[in-house]
Amino acid sequence: MDFISKITVVPKIPEKILGLKELSENMWWTWNYKTQALFETIDKELWESTQRNPVTFLKRVEQKKLNTAAEDSKFNELYQEVMKEFSNYMNENSNTWFSKTHRSFKDGEIAYFCMEYGLHESFPMYSGGLGILAGDHLKSASDLGIPLIAIGLLYQKGYFIQRLNSEGWQESIFLDYDFSDFPIIPAKESNGDEIYVDIDLLGKKVFAKVWQVKVGRVNLYLLDTNLMQNDPEDREITSTLYGGDIEMRIKQEILIGIGGVKAVRKLGYNPSVWHMNEGHAAFLGLERIRELVQEHGLTFQEAIEAVRAGNVFTTHTPVPAGNDVFSISLIDKYFGDFWPKLGASRQDFLNLGLEKRQNAEELFSMTILALKLSGRSNAVSRLHGEVSRKLWNHVWPGIEWLEVPINYVTNGVHIDTWLNPKLQESLKEYLGADWMSKIDDPELWEKIDNIPDHELWETHQQLKKELIEYIRKSIKAQRSRHGETVEQLEEVNQIGDEKALTIGFARRFATYKRADLIFSDEERLKKILNDPDKPVQLIFAGKAHPADKPGQELIKKIYEYSRKPEFQNKVIILENYDMDMARHLVSGVDIWLNNPRRPREASGTSGQKAGMNGAINFSVLDGWWVEGYNGKNGWAIGDNRDYEDLKLQDKIDSVSIYNQLEKQIVPMYYEKGETDVSKEWVSKMKESIKSVTSFFNTARMLKEYTQKLYMPALEQHTRFSNDDFKLAKEFAGWVKLLKENWDSIKIHVKLDQDLTGVKNAEEEIGVQAEIYLPGIGPDSILPEVVFARLKDGKIANIRRYDMKLIKEVQKDTYLYSVKFKIEDRGEYGINVRVTPNNPLMPHKNYLMGLVKYPQ
């Protein structure tokens, strides 16, 4: 039949429950389990089949089910409760942590830039840890009332759906998403017009539409180039997360950096702090410099100082290969017409990101660009801070790695998102209904011991049962796709044992994470897994980047182990690791296994999610676990040191895994008394919940970012921006004067005594120095004695003693002096140096490369 017209009919939400639409359009529902329960109550099967996406759900639900829900008294009671909670949450701005702590704050938001955001599995704009962390960052910023906005890209195909074929090879499936299924709306100007921005790429304009996502009280804005007014190749810029070649990568990073700043301006914001979460967005600094040069008349150097004042940079990748670099020819190609807009020469521009490799190759590093254009930088765990200071020491020539000003804020996770609702209810009962607002209170966590052992054990066993059901459903779908027989599919019901000790390993399949380490000794592992009285099972999950062939080979290797008769149903590998699977795993396994090659794990947060759910961490002392492990809340693999011999490291760590499984972990789990509960095991579970939940959460993390980074940056930005950038101009002029005269500084050291040979502890040392300061003057420098403790010929610790000005010896030459005591025995090195000194510098080594030693 021919039709004169076709129409699409969507359900009409009854007036009594019309708030469901508002709830579906704000990602607040992703961390409010009562809201999720509302949608699930209407149609559980549809809720699951739509990946728990309320936008899609409300488009597809049957009208009669909505009508039935609207007339159901219990549903309405829950609905009213949720709507009241939502209204209170969205309107309590004056009662948040930030508003109470920073009452004098007036304006100037924090603009947060990241390439990916993991808010929920139904909104697949993330690949892994970086995106999940960014999503949790926004959620906690909303909870705490921090005035933050976020910028990213809206990907037409997202990351990829992972499928494992019948041989275990990863297949990467890219879907074209319908944005009407996402909780996004076009961002609009005050006059109602949709917002578009443009960037210059290779002599032409590329346009991007700006979309808005509501994340509680925080707004996330995503740029989209899939527009008719763009050429086909430019529409592809926001096609795929981390897809394409190196030219696609630089286009994406120009879009988020330069286009992102333009979007912020069009949206009407004037941020005081600009936070780059990883180096991908570092081009934002260049656009901000261009604004100041072209719109405010600042020089290139003045603009750099004004921009640095408010920039914050977080580095995540602890290995050089993981940091984005571009060839100089590619930078010339895409920025050849840009640096004249900055009033900069080509070399001045390149110097902002120049990295010289040992083979004399010159590259443009996004991390170096971010470091040079940020007044404050941080790593994401204490150990990662040490690794980062060593890795980027060359950006600060003249100082030791110990002094590199890369601070750290250890990552955490968003408790409401990752703590299973059943456990949330238990904590409410034993810690109090308002426990989440008191997580900083040490006394609160002692109440964990009030939870009866059997109750915590039974709750966890229920969560493990749910995990096993999830695993069987997932593997059955996979094997059905492979065309296995009905009999073979029935065997899936034998996979997973609710009574067995269950070990989970789920993360990105990069080779340094050593997913196959536990298989180093197959015979030994076989005995552990197949003990009839004390069975153990291993569950693996994770994606490898489509271009990472070694990572994909690891997945295939684990898959092949899972199909071997001796490991069948004992080794399980799941496909398409996402946030939904992660929630099941971290709450359902007994042990969370993590064995990266130390020190390559920047932080890692999956173990934090597991730990707060009562799973016990069994991990290498890397990333967050170095700080989290206390001897009572889990087990450490290997020892607290690094290795140059990687084979030796693998051997030591694998033996450590087997020994502890055989002698400690497995026996403890099965050491059950008459109550059928292992008291020692539950004690470790409680300690895990206490120690992990109380500290490794994004509430603590965001408070640290605010106090250590955001507020100091905001203060300096304000000072440098006031009075037509008066202080920024003065500071830049002072820096220019220093650089012009720095090489002429001369230092002549005089010692009160001979410092060669053996000295006694607590003996006083006197040091004098005559310092020639042509064109600079004594107020602009800080002379100091550097007293370094040496261990095996390397600097282990540094103490600095400021020298006092005694007198002017002759024109431009000044005498300085200091006395100090040797505090303890050991081998030491001593030197004198001069660094810049200005009250406008936020930290001692703010100016890179200006360090002078005696010659």
DSSP per-residue letters across 563-616: HSTTTTTTEEEESS--HHHHHHHHHH-SEEEE---TT--S--SHHHHHHHTT-E
Report residue 303 as tokens: 């603009």
Residue 248: φ, ψ to 5°: -65, -35
Report residue 284 as tokens: 């934002």
Beta-carbon contacts of 582 under 8 Å, excluding residues fewer than 6 positions away, are: 506, 606, 609
Residues 73-77, mean pLDDT to the nearest whole number: 96
**pLDDT at res. 38:** 97
**pLDDT at res. 514:** 95
**pLDDT at res. 9:** 80
Instruction: Identify which has the larger pLDDT, 344 or 828.
Output: 344
Report residue 344 as tokens: 């900069």
Angle at 517 between CA 317 and CA 607, to 5 degrees: 55
Sign of CA dihedral 271, 273, 277, 279: positive
**pLDDT at res. 441:** 87
pLDDT band, very low/low/confident/very high, at 757 (cuts 50, 70, 90): low
pLDDT band, very low/low/confident/very high, at 357 (cuts 50, 70, 90): confident
**pLDDT at res. 487:** 83
**pLDDT at res. 36:** 97
Helix (H) or strand (E) holding 144: helix 129-144
Residues 505-533, mean pLDDT to the nearest whole number: 96
| The residue type at 142 | S
Residue 1: pLDDT over 80: no
Helix (H) or strand (E) holding 471: helix 453-481
* Number of neighbours of residue 810 by Cβ within 10 angstroms: 9
Question: What is the DSSP annotation of 302-334?
Answer: HHHHHHHHHEEEE----SGGGS-EEEHHHHHHH
Q: Which of 609-613, 702-706, 821-825 has the lowest mean pLDDT?
A: 821-825
Q: Which of 77-81, 475-479, 687-691, 823-827 has the lowest mean pLDDT?
A: 823-827
* Number of neighbours of residue 760 by Cβ within 10 angstroms: 7
Q: What is the pLDDT of residues 225-234, one digit of tens each?
A: 999 999 999 9
Residue 623: pLDDT over 70: yes
The C-alpha atoms of residue 614 and residue 112 are separated, in whole angstroms, by: 32
Sign of CA dihedral 577, 579, 584, 588: positive
**Residue linked to tokens 């707004």:** 219
Sign of CA dihedral 767, 772, 778, 780: negative
Q: What is the pLDDT of residues 665-703, one digit of tens each?
A: 999 999 987 788 999 999 999 999 999 999 999 999 999
Residue 661: pLDDT over 80: yes
Total residues belonging to the chain: 855
* Number of neighbours of residue 172 by Cβ within 10 angstroms: 17
- Cβ atoms 353, 368 nearer than 8 A: yes
The C-alpha atoms of residue 425 and residue 435 are separated, in whole angstroms, by: 11
**Residue linked to tokens 């003045």:** 302
- Cβ atoms 183, 156 nearer than 8 A: no
**pLDDT at res. 756:** 64
Domains delineated in the chain: 15-91 (no CATH), 110-244 (no CATH), 272-411+698-740 (3.40.50.2000), 422-696 (3.40.50.2000), 745-836 (2.60.40.2440)
**pLDDT at res. 355:** 94
Beta-carbon contacts of 264 under 8 Å, excluding residues fewer than 6 positions away, are: 111, 149, 151, 221, 271
Report residue 532 as tokens: 């009839």
Residue 257 has what DSSP assignment?
Answer: I
**pLDDT at res. 380:** 98
**pLDDT at res. 10:** 85
Report residue 383 as tokens: 């150990």
The proportion of the chain whose per-residue pLDDT surpasses 90, expressed as a percent, equals 87
The C-alpha atoms of residue 807 and residue 768 are separated, in whole angstroms, by: 12
The C-alpha atoms of residue 48 and residue 5 are separated, in whole angstroms, by: 33
**pLDDT at res. 760:** 76
The proportion of the chain whose per-residue pLDDT surpasses 70, expressed as a percent, equals 99
The C-alpha atoms of residue 309 and residue 298 are separated, in whole angstroms, by: 15
Q: What is the pLDDT of residues 304-324, one digit of tens each?
A: 999 999 999 999 988 877 789
**Residue linked to tokens 């990863």:** 170
Angle at 452 between CA 444 and CA 688, to 5 degrees: 55
CA neighbours within 13 Å on the CB side: how many for 201?
A: 24
**Residue 843: is it exposed, middle or buried by C-beta count within 10 angstroms (0-12/13-18/19+)?**
exposed
| The residue type at 468 | I
The C-alpha atoms of residue 674 and residue 493 are separated, in whole angstroms, by: 30
The C-alpha atoms of residue 173 and residue 162 are separated, in whole angstroms, by: 6
**Residue 673: is it exposed, middle or buried by C-beta count within 10 angstroms (0-12/13-18/19+)?**
exposed
Residue 358: pLDDT over 80: no
**pLDDT at res. 755:** 63
Quick one: which of 372, 224, 390 has its CA closest to 320? 390
Sign of CA dihedral 700, 580, 550, 240: negative
Q: In what order do the strands lie in the sheet with 746-751?
A: 746-751, 764-772, 813-821, 804-810
Report residue 26 as tokens: 């704000």
Residue 758: pLDDT over 70: no
Tell me the whole-structure pTM to 2 decimals. Answer: 0.96
Q: What is the mean pLDDT of the chain?
A: 95
Residue 608: φ, ψ to 5°: -65, -40
**pLDDT at res. 82:** 98
CA 59 from chain centre, in angstroms, equals 34
Residue 521: pLDDT over 90: yes
Instruction: Identify which has the larger pLDDT, 626 or 190.
Output: 626
Q: What is the pLDDT of residues 778-815, one digit of tens each?
A: 999 999 999 999 988 888 899 999 999 999 999 999 99
The C-alpha atoms of residue 599 and residue 723 are separated, in whole angstroms, by: 46
Quick one: which of 559, 561, 557, 623 has its CA closest to 594? 623
Sign of CA dihedral 747, 752, 756, 759: negative
- Cβ atoms 613, 587 nearer than 8 A: yes
Residues 111-136, mean pLDDT to the nearest whole number: 96
Report residue 443 as tokens: 């006394």
**pLDDT at res. 335:** 97
Residue 532: pLDDT over 70: yes
